[in-house]
Amino acid sequence: VEAAARDLGYAGPSPKGRLLMGGKVHAIGFIPAGEMSVESLMRSPYLREVFTGVAQVCDERGANLLVVSGVTRRKDWAIANALVDGFILGHVEEIGLVSVRRKQVPYVVLEHDAGPDVASVRVDGRKGACLAARHLLELGHRKFAIVSVRRRRGEPIWHGAGLATGQLHAGYPLDHEKLAGYLEALAEAGINASDVPVVEAFPPSPYAEAGARMLFDAAPDVTAILAMSDKNAIAVLTVANERGTRVPEDVSVVGFDGVAEAARSSPPLTTIAQPLAEKGILAARMLFDGGPVRQIVQPVTLVVRHSTSPPRR
Amino acid sequence: VEAAARDLGYAGPSPKGRLLMGGKVHAIGFIPAGEMSVESLMRSPYLREVFTGVAQVCDERGANLLVVSGVTRRKDWAIANALVDGFILGHVEEIGLVSVRRKQVPYVVLEHDAGPDVASVRVDGRKGACLAARHLLELGHRKFAIVSVRRRRGEPIWHGAGLATGQLHAGYPLDHEKLAGYLEALAEAGINASDVPVVEAFPPSPYAEAGARMLFDAAPDVTAILAMSDKNAIAVLTVANERGTRVPEDVSVVGFDGVAEAARSSPPLTTIAQPLAEKGILAARMLFDGGPVRQIVQPVTLVVRHSTSPPRR
DNA sequence: CTGAAAGCGCTTACAG
DNA sequence: CTGAAAGCGCTTACAG
């Protein structure tokens, strides 16, 4: 019998049939945020570390890992076509969410608490931002600027000075949280939001550098820069170096994320570290293990390196 | 009618049914080589760049990208379970190949010409190795050592001096080609293989560094080191720095691959560059476009940076 | 041109 | 305990 099967070229049980009966696919899908397609997943150090955590769990469980491709328009159809047991969403995104919901498959959202009905893993952006701002305030800084994360490819957006919470042009909830955290800490020290310029810059090069240049051009007297991502902060270091502005002597910079590159930049970056791989691990485990829907908040910590010091007198 | 469908919670056409009728899955699978699981794909700069090329094509075509997980044992079952239209194999591997063949799905092999029946994209390892060795010979070097790539996790393997071609302990065909290329160029200059020590080291840290230490300990008089991968070459730089051995004054090092990190090492690494992302792009296009089975060979070029110089007199 | 039926390759529940 | 049948959700070829 077996010989006959082999003669006919039978290739062993196909997962296709099994699948149909509601069986497991033994794969989970990862949906990078925004315009972050599969390619930019590889280029973003932040996403890469989270993804590595997810991958680690997949290796443990012998599951395959599907990366959902495509820019916003196509992503919807890519999700519809994805054959997976569950999804990890890089951020909240309406289109993604809707599509995932329609598939009636479990999912976990990163970086956003979407209420008690949806599983999520995130950090407290507000708290992290407070830590960053307070660190600079304690060093004696009074002239601040903020580099926010623009979420779509494009030129930086300049807000001059005086951006109220919630007025970010292109941000995710996490970005609004961080902005609120910065402004809250500054307000406690008597610094008004209307005195703090904000630039929104897309983190991949060369957009982040363009944002940093815009900031140095428009607000040359700033001594303390709060960046919402390490990638943007490192771009500030690069541009400062180009122009002969010394860090931390002339200007202090604090990043956010605690990406590996932040430890190797020159000078090494003071930043708000979060457990990136760990977040991927937790999200993947929630997906594999099922269980009750939970909202996990991971800790943030201030890591002081060499990009911050007291302002020049 | 449509309202009724919505009331019943109909979630739109499922890819599962379509699949069964032989339809496209709109996804391709990437199988990292050897013990390289999904996780180490993220950690290996070489694989990451190739993978990025693959991802780029997937983005263009709106296809999803499945990373096949698991160590050797489980990989077989992971492949059997993978729902994809085709595979890209990181290297030749019997198990992988067998499994892929059984699925009767198209595939492309990287880094190995498996004959006219199988599609492949590779570089000429022998030629690249010749270029590297000749560069050092022209600078006047006579005392060589080779760092080969061990393909499984584990301690470095030391071959003293005198390894004939084909005697590598744990290598892929590409590694044998490179060894042959090194030895061929050295032989032309009258240097006998029996005078050239070889160490096989697994590229991820800390194995690569252990290999470099073994080499410096056992062959302290060597002035020229030929490494089969940039990762291994950079580990040599790191260990040299640890020990106060100056590169290139005391010892010259040539890498292989032309990974981004090689341009940023200190000193910047002289290496044999190959179009990594391009290989991923070509492999993915072959898969998507079908067409005749081809064996593509991509060019290698010597990139001289600052890790090589004439030997000290 | 619309609508009922068969079949893709499995699994599962049921009859023998 | 073994074996034939039904059904998963589609698509495709065929009958009405």
pLDDT along chain B (313 residues), means of 10: 59 77 88 75 90 92 89 80 92 80 87 93 97 98 96 91 66 92 97 94 95 97 98 98 97 97 95 98 95 96 98 87
Q: Measuring from the CA of residue B17 to each C1', which nucleotide is nearest? A: D10
Q: Which residues from B are below 8 Å from A80, CB to CB? A: 12-13, 15
B191 CA: distance to closest CA in chain A (Å): 41
Instruction: Output the pTM of the full model.
Output: 0.90
**Residues of chain B neighbouring A17 (CB-CB closer than 8 A):** 20
Q: What is the pLDDT of residue B313?
A: 75
- Residue A22's nearest nucleotide, by CA–C1', is D8
User: What is the Cα–Cα distance from A253 to A226, expressed in whole angstroms?
Assistant: 6
Residues B122, B296 contacting (CB under 8 angstroms): yes
Closest by Cβ to B62, choosing from A13, A42, A77: A77
Residue B264 is encoded by which pair of tokens?
């940023």
List, for residues A31-81, the tens digit of each pLDDT value.
988 776 777 788 889 999 999 999 999 988 889 999 998 766 678 888 888
Using a 10 angstrom Cβ sphere, with 0-12 exposed, 13-18 middle and 19 or more buried, the burial of residue B8 is exposed
Question: What pLDDT, in 10s, does the model give residues A209-245?
Answer: 999 999 999 999 999 999 999 999 999 999 999 999 9
Residue A86 has pLDDT above 70, yes or no: yes
pLDDT at B156: 96
CA A241 to chain CA mean position, Å? 26
Closest chain A C-alpha to B265 CA, distance in angstroms: 12
Q: Extract the tokens encoding A124.
A: 């407290």
What's the pLDDT at A92? Answer: 84
Given a cut of 60, is residue A2 above it in pLDDT?
no
Strand D contacts in A 7-66 (CB under 7 A): 17, 20-22
Q: What pLDDT band is residue A313 in, cutting at 50, 70 and 90?
A: confident
Task: Supply the pLDDT for residue B13.
Answer: 75
Query: What pLDDT does residue B20 have?
Result: 76
pLDDT digits (tens, 9 = 90+) for A159-171: 987 676 557 766 7
Task: Quote the pLDDT of residue B76.
Answer: 83
Which nucleotide is nearest to A12 if distance is taken from CA to C1'? C9
Q: What is the pLDDT of residue A6?
A: 58
Residues 6 or more apart in contact with residue B188 via CB below 8 angstroms: none
Selecting from B20, B62, B67 the residue whose C-beta is nearest the C-beta of A20 gives B20
> How do strand A144-149 and strand A224-227 relate by DSSP bridges?
parallel
Burial of A48 (0-12, 13-18, 19+ CB in 10 A): buried
Q: Which residue of B has its CA nearest to A264?
A: B264
Among partner residues A15, A55, A102, which is closest to B81 by beta-carbon distance? A15
Distance A5 CA to C14 C1' (A): 27
Q: What pLDDT does residue B228 have? A: 98
Amino acid A54: pLDDT: 95
Give the model's pLDDT for residue B4. 63
Return the pLDDT at B3: 65
pLDDT of residue A62: 87
How would residue A116 be classed by pLDDT, with cut points 50, 70 and 90? Answer: very high
Map residue A121 onto helix, strand or coil: strand
pLDDT at B69: 82
Say what the pLDDT of residue A95 is.
74
pLDDT in tens, B154-170: 999 999 876 765 567 66
pLDDT at A166: 54
Interface test with B, best of A59, A88, A102 (most B CBs within 10 A): A59
